[in-house]
Chains A and B, each alone.
Chain A
């Protein structure tokens, strides 16, 4: 069966020429690109292929996980003792807060009942582990190990122990994709903790700091201010830490101040995250009043 590998003379070539094939597949790719960006018809196909790829992804992660496990198993006694001491100190520190917490919670519940408000944090939160950060250099994404099967839904907020990490944007059966707050044009409604100024923080993409747009130059904000979620979007519960203001540039010639912020949560570093339940149902978007349409139509008519 051993035969020498040689190119056949061109007249033995069968099938369409490479250029034809390239043109065909190129056009199909362009069509796919268009359909996938404009309409989201292809999500089902994506799901199926993702399930097929899942075992490979897990297999690839095994060596790293095994190494981490072995490493943690052989963690030195001293490191553990250190950790233990630190944790004890922290516990002591937090003791007073923890002890008063049930009391506050009760009081809070009473007050909320009085105000007939929904609980701020839905209780169904899902702890998830970060599988890997997205490899696409153009977007800021994270893949976590809980998906459809665990009850994750698109749009749920993802936090870590410090603050907001991002939002679930795509759900596969066994994993889901989280778009980070640093992703380009990812918007988080925030409030300056100190002064209460409301704004929206926009991600600026890989390697750039998120910014607050459309804040007037005299807005009550200064470097070092903490930004917390304002909760008016219905996605992020109010009061979660998001970022710290890194710099504020107020130029008299500009309409708006340039405010850049540094995310607080380990957006790139956290290994465990919490996917908050979407139980705190957002207020339904108010119906557009019918009158709003009328003037626009009138204007059009006037133009035409």
Chain B
């Protein structure tokens, strides 16, 4: 059992369906994490937690979390950040669509290779936000803008293990 906690579910392992309240709770936690009052180095390294958790559920539970929910969460994020309306909404909607498009491919790989693909998806999301801002007249962001996406990708394996934990069957395979 202890071993179970440290590793992700094996592909052949059958998971319980995710509970909607748990999914909503984690998304809400992601939003709250994005609102943490950080500054300096922590702000630089801070991943977009909401995008990461959203991506996870879009890949794992595409029938529950899709483009629509991603879009609404993006609107909330826009208000929380005080940015232009629709900027995060657009980015998250595209992220959700990309997740739906690539989910079968992503799930075929081991966790750390998944993280590499997640990095690309998160960078795409960040680039969309940047694009919207640049069209709106903002200067080009500095290279450190991409750091958050990379930290997010590094967090993918632990997030996967953590968010999958309630879905693991309580009985070990040996008992069955």
Please report A residues at the B interface, Cβ cutoff 8 Å.
Answer: 2-5, 7-8, 18-19, 21-22, 25-26, 28-33, 35-37, 42, 45-46, 49-50, 53, 56-57, 59-61, 64, 131-139, 141, 143, 170, 177, 184, 204-208, 268
Contacts and interface: CB of A to CB of B under 8 A. Distances in A.
A141 B82 contact: yes
B110 interface: no
B5 interface: no
Given A21-B68, A50-B79, A205-B138, A56 B43 contact: no
Interface residues of B, number: 54
B80 A29 contact: no
B68 A56 contact: no
B97 A18 contact: yes
Contacts of A60: 32-33, 35-37
A26 B84 CA distance: 15
Given A33-B87, A56-B32, A138-B138, A22 B82 contact: no
B138 A22 contact: no
Contacts of A31: 86
4 A-B pairs with least C-beta separation: A132-B37, A32-B86, A29-B90, A36-B85
A37 B84 contact: yes
Contacts of A139: 83, 138
Given A18-B66, A26-B90, A36-B86, 5 more contacts: A5-B61, A29-B90, A46-B85, A49-B75, A138-B133
Nearest to A45: B85
Contact of A49 (B16, B17, B36, B76): B76
Contact of A35 (B34, B85, B93): B85
Interface stretch (B115-123, B139-147, B151-159): B139-147
Interface string B13-39: 011111000000000100111111111
A185 to B, nearest CB: 8
Given A64-B37, A132-B37, A205-B139, A30 B90 contact: yes
Nearest to A185: B137
Contacts of B86: 28-33, 36
Contacts of A8: 63
Contacts of B57: none
20 contacts: A2-B17, A5-B18, A18-B97, A18-B101, A21-B68, A22-B67, A22-B93, A25-B68, A33-B87, A35-B85, A45-B85, A57-B80, A60-B35, A132-B39, A133-B39, A135-B46, A137-B141, A138-B141, A207-B142, A208-B139
A55 to B, nearest CB: 10
B93 A25 contact: yes
A59 B80 CA distance: 14
Given A18-B67, A25-B67, A206 B37 contact: no
Interface centre among B80, B81, B86 (most CB of A within 10 A): B86
